[in-house]
Chains A and B, each alone.
Chain A
Amino acid sequence: MTDTPQEPLKRTPLHAAHLRAGARMVPFGGWDMPVQYSGLKAEHDAVRTGAGVFDVSHMGEFRVTGEGALAFLQSVTTNDVSKLKAGRAQYNWLPGVQGGLVDDIYIYMVRDGEYLMVVNAGNIAKDWAHLNAHTQGFDVTLTDESDRWGLLAVQGPKTPELLQPHTDTDLSAKKKNAFFQTKLFGFDVWLARTGYTGEDGFEVFAVASEAETVWDKLLAIGLTPAGLGARDTLRLEAGFPLYGHEFSDTIHPLSSTYAWVVKDKAHVGRNHISLAPSQKLVGLRLERVPVREGYPVKVAGQVVGHVTSGTSSPTLGHPIAMALVEAAYATAETFEVEVRGKDHPATRMELPFYKA
């Protein structure tokens, strides 16, 4: 506990809906968020086998417009935004100037000269300052639309069939990373065929004042409300890095298995990203004891890294973890993880742990 005065926790447009659904609320990135409703495992399983819905309204949305929007985005990201077409989404990184990542983001192209950027909740203020510090010389306007949108992630193999009767768009024609405007339950929304669970699904951008009704209608057609707890076990099984764990302002971004996000182009972080990372991210499997962030990872008794995320995998039935280890040890097959003073054997497992 701390005596430091804290900012009051922010609330998403769905706050009342979470309380109605019996959610257990926790502070997350400055927001009062649901960690679980019926139970983490039940919510996790619903997303793997049926359909679940997450409130991700705490994430930030910035609109990037102007004739120089593309050139600006190219200069502040590592992926090639020129490859993005209107109606498509792209995973991307905001590299730091000195090192690490400012954030990992998604960019959605609306039309020529207009993009929407979705950023992590805990990084909204930092990203906003960073982006605005790099607009000089570009004909670009940045607008923080974080309060305008309620963002819902509808995830799981049954989501297309559940949503189809309630939209005027043929969802089967929309491939992964499609981004389009449509009606859902009669409301004007944007849908993106993207997500963070390793399952098929959509992210729904609804006007904040209409988000609660959309949420209620999603529950009424059979989607299971799912909290941050299930979101974390799902993303970890899918091998997705999480900012603050596998990415940070100091972790070399190429430590992760996502080298494809860096294209050969000029950008603000090019100098440090071109250096080889001293650590690599590995997947670990344990037999029984769950391991948590920060636990030491060893090879033959010598500490070579630490766990960045760990859980007991609800789908696989054994503990899994991601760990940053010295690059020289990244191909070792067996490790030990120290848990409360005792070493437990772990074997390296290719990422992702789970693929739909």
Chain B
Amino acid sequence: MTNTPSDLKYAASHEWLSADGTVGITDFAQEQLGDVVYVELPEVGRVIEAGETIAVVESVKTASDIYAPASGTVVAVNEDLRGTPELVNSAPYEGGWLFKLDVTGEGDLMDAGAYTSANN
């Protein structure tokens, strides 16, 4: 079974958002994607609306758009992913985070229970 921490919020498009504005993709999503080989990160300073395409995660076979789970400004990106994109697979909620937002408004998000039942 995949891991869905209870202290995060989840988008139907499989991104998670933490209380401090950190964004990543879920354990379920990384497992569906398979081996991640490249991550295209947004530029720091970009202002984004919830639901907009903001990053791309590429596995061996496919490129998947990442959607912003909240509106706000990108204040940091995970530089470690440029050299070790596989962190998205091995630690989707820790070392594999994608970027941080200064959140001005959340999108339509679920708690862990709702996200888990939506993906079973």
Chain A residues within 8 Å of B, Cβ to Cβ: 35-36, 39-41, 229, 232-233, 288-290, 292, 311-312, 314, 319, 340
Chain B residue numbers with a CB within 8 Å of A229 are: 34, 60-61
> Is B56's CB under 8 angstroms from A290's CB?
no
In this complex, the member of A35, A229, A290 whose beta carbon has the largest number of chain B beta carbons within 10 angstroms is A290
Given A229-B61, A289-B58: A312 and B40 within 8 A (CB)?
no
> Is A311's CB under 8 angstroms from B34's CB?
no
B20-74 CB contacts (< 8 Å) to partner A: 34-35, 37-38, 40, 56, 58-63
Chain A residue numbers with a CB within 8 Å of B35 are: 39-41, 314
Size class of the B contact interface (CB-based, 8 Å): 10 to 19
> Is B37's CB under 8 angstroms from A312's CB?
yes
Q: Which 8 A-B pairs have CB atoms at the shortest separation, nearest pair first?
A: A312-B37, A41-B35, A290-B58, A312-B60, A40-B34, A40-B60, A229-B61, A289-B38
Chain B residue numbers with a CB within 8 Å of A314 are: 35, 60
Q: How far is the CB of A46 from chain B (nearest CB, A)?
A: 14
Selected A-B contacts with CB under 8 Å, 6 pairs: A36-B34, A289-B58, A311-B60, A312-B38, A312-B58, A312-B59
Q: How far is the CB of A256 from chain B (nearest CB, A)?
A: 22
Q: How far is the CB of B42 from chain A (nearest CB, A)?
A: 12
Chain B residue numbers with a CB within 8 Å of A311 are: 60-61
Chain B residue numbers with a CB within 8 Å of A312 are: 37-38, 58-60
Given A229-B61, A289-B58, A290-B58: A41 and B34 within 8 A (CB)?
yes
> Is A232's CB under 8 angstroms from B61's CB?
yes
A302 to B59, CA, bound (A): 28
> Is A290's CB under 8 angstroms from B34's CB?
no
A314 to B60, CA, bound (A): 8
A267 to B96, CA, bound (A): 57
Q: How far is the CB of A143 from chain B (nearest CB, A)?
A: 36
Chain A residue numbers with a CB within 8 Å of B56 are: 340
Q: How far is the CB of A40 from chain B (nearest CB, A)?
A: 5
> Is A292's CB under 8 angstroms from B63's CB?
yes
> Is B37's CB under 8 angstroms from A290's CB?
yes
A266 to B35, CA, bound (A): 48
A44 to B59, CA, bound (A): 14
Chain A residue numbers with a CB within 8 Å of B62 are: 292
> Is A40's CB under 8 angstroms from B38's CB?
no
- In the complex, residue of chain B having the shortest beta-carbon distance to the beta carbon of A233: B60
A36 to B34, CA, bound (A): 9
In this complex, the member of B35, B59, B60 whose beta carbon has the largest number of chain A beta carbons within 10 angstroms is B60
Chain A residue numbers with a CB within 8 Å of B34 are: 36, 39-41, 229
A312 to B37, CA, bound (A): 7
A311 to B34, CA, bound (A): 13
> Is A41's CB under 8 angstroms from B60's CB?
yes
> Is B61's CB under 8 angstroms from A40's CB?
yes
